[in-house]
Amino acid sequence: MANIRDVARMAGVSPATVSRVLNNDTTYKMTDETKQRVFRAVTELGYNPPLRKSDRVEQQPAADQRFTVGCLLATTRGKYKDPYYVSILSGIEEETERQGGVVSLIHTEQELEDPDILNRTLEAGLDGLVMMRPLEEPLFNRLRARIPHIVGIDTGHMPIDNIEYDHFRVSRMAVEYLYGKGYREIGFIGGGSGQQPMRRSRRYRSYLETMGDLGLETRPEWILDCGWDDRKCMELVAAVAAGPGLPRAFYAASDLMAMAALRAMYQLGIRVPEETAVIGMTDIEMSQYANPPLTTIHVPVEELGRTCARVLADRIRGDDSLPKRIILPSELVPRDSA
């Protein structure tokens, strides 16, 4: 990479002269020929002068130009205890700060059931809002009427931008991977979303569709609706093991539920994957430390948050294009549990 001394050498002048030309310093007289030699050398060498301190200051948003956003945090384990949603929040906060804004308010959908909290949210003067799960239409419409820009993470609300991953594809990947490993008896562990029951979950519907496409039987006793509660997941696994018996493999639609199933099997003395295999979904950091390490589908959770924050910042700055649906890629991470 060229530096100022390289430019000076090619132009036949001193580095100080190069600096004066590039900064349009008129304190010292110099010929047009000298200026042309400097600019020619800059172009040929591809030299990028560093920003002056004053320029760097000007690029930082002024305090009164910073925007404020809120976040509706989805959770299944307490406000800041679900690593999947906390990782998304981390990406949102990091990118919002980089874009010149600040996340000034974080609530869950359950907290908005408190009229005082809801009113404070509506009166907060937010420039934008991130939603991590679909809301009931009356609540969504109230928020949309008071907050100028809303971006969703996998909410399905059509009037707003949505950043997501392909739920149908990840389930197909999981079931097809198990099938490719020789498993034919494959169960499902999952839950609903908000007011939506599990039977309407895209991951569950994709599981059923893929099982049908592969000619595999789905047995009701192997479909465990645990409502994303790890204790309930463990109880259901234990009940099936004591009754009709476990399938040869489980696809759990979240890593937390997959690890709860692993813990239940460990307590029951069931060997994984020799007796029953388990594959998860999301690839949260702790999944690699499960016993055994969890085979899973990687979803770029922090990038979900960062992408959401970038889209929201663009909207606040004036982007008035049609609502976007951005789908981020996912990939299978083979480990020892399947």
Q: Go through the domains of the chain in sequence order and give each one's CATH number.
A: 4-59 (1.10.260.40), 67-165+303-329 (3.40.50.2300), 167-298 (3.40.50.2300)
Position 15 pLDDT exceeds 90 = no
Q: Give the global pTM.
A: 0.76
The answer to whether 159 and 144 are in contact (CB under 8 A) is yes
pLDDT at 45: 76
pLDDT at 55: 46
Average pLDDT of the chain to the nearest whole number: 89
pLDDT tens, position by position, 87-145: 999 999 999 999 999 999 999 888 998 999 999 999 999 999 999 988 989 999 999 99
Report, as an integer, the average pLDDT of 254-276. Answer: 97
CA–CA separation, 144 vs 121, rounded Å? 12
Residue from 181, 166, 182 nearest 281 by CA = 166
Per DSSP (E only), the strands in 90-173 are: 101-107, 128-131, 150-153, 161-165
Position 184 pLDDT exceeds 90 = yes
Q: Please report where in the chains the tokens 């999301």 appear, as a residue.
A: 282
For residue 53, with 0-12 CB atoms within 10 Å meaning exposed, 13-18 middle and 19 or more buried, which class applies? exposed
pLDDT at 196: 80
The answer to whether 303 and 267 are in contact (CB under 8 A) is no
Q: How far is CA 334 from the centre of its chain?
A: 21
CA–CA separation, 258 vs 251, rounded Å? 8
For residue 306, with 0-12 CB atoms within 10 Å meaning exposed, 13-18 middle and 19 or more buried, which class applies? buried
Report, as an integer, the average pLDDT of 3-26. Answer: 76
pLDDT tens, position by position, 206-250: 999 999 999 999 999 999 999 999 999 999 999 999 999 999 999
Q: Which of 26-30, 180-184, 256-260 has the lowest mean pLDDT?
A: 26-30
Position 53 pLDDT exceeds 60 = no
Please provide the DSSP assignment of 242-288 as one string: HTT---SEEEESSHHHHHHHHHHHHHHT--TTTT-EEE-SB--GGGG
pLDDT at 62: 47
Q: Which of 31-40, 151-160, 230-239 has the lowest mean pLDDT?
A: 31-40
pLDDT tens, position by position, 289-328: 999 999 999 999 999 999 999 999 999 999 999 999 999 9
Tokens read off for 101: 């804004």
pLDDT at 20: 74
